[in-house]
Amino acid sequence: MTAMTTGSTSRADANRRRILDVALAELLRDPDASMDQIARAAGVVRRTVYGHFPSREALISTLVDGAVEAVEAAHTTGREDARDPAEAVARSTLAVWEVADRYRILVAPAQRSVTVQGIRERLAPARAAGAEVLRRGLEQGVFTSPLPPQALAYVHEQMLFALMEAVNDGLPAAQEAGRSAAVTLLTTAGVPASRATSLVAELSE
């Protein structure tokens, strides 16, 4: 590969990253932001945006892929060094929410463009890891639920989506939502509310 080709590729990659960063910021400001708006905000012509992303749906799908990767990494990091399954759920939820809060405005457009099934498929690895934590917790008596761990993992996933939508609608305050999410998921798994609240407070310090 020549130096000229390498330079062109680097510029194209930098343009692509910039478009994605600007697109996310614009969608946070205006969920209905058009490709024209995104191009203007990124300081490029519309043709450049379409050169990387053939449609608004493709752009959002790429943003969703990035969000899923970040969620998976946060989920893994959150579970590290947890003393028991309850702490693993609390830590991973707090870590995931930091990512989810940045990307939460994508929930509605992503469900229109990627489809709910597509989102579920992308989140399958993180959901499977969560189900394994829930399985251990149920076996150890840390959690109590009439649902099997795989179903409970689906419930937790959908509760996080619902909470993102609620924050988008201005219901819970964004700065409190992560801790509220962690307590909610723990209580849904059968952890007493007092224990869930104190554990999340301890981990949030």
CA distances from 108 to 31, 60, 111, 148, 175 (A): 9, 11, 5, 28, 21
Q: Tell me if 36 sits within 8 A of 19, measured CB to CB.
A: no
Task: Say whether pTM exceeds 0.85.
Answer: no
- CB-based contacts of 187: which residues, under 8 Å, 6+ apart? 193, 196
Phi, psi of 148 (to 5 degrees): -70, 160
CA separation for the pair 84, 134 (Å, rounded): 11
Give the tens place of pLDDT for each residue, 51-101: 999 999 899 888 888 888 888 888 888 888 899 999 999 999 999 998 877
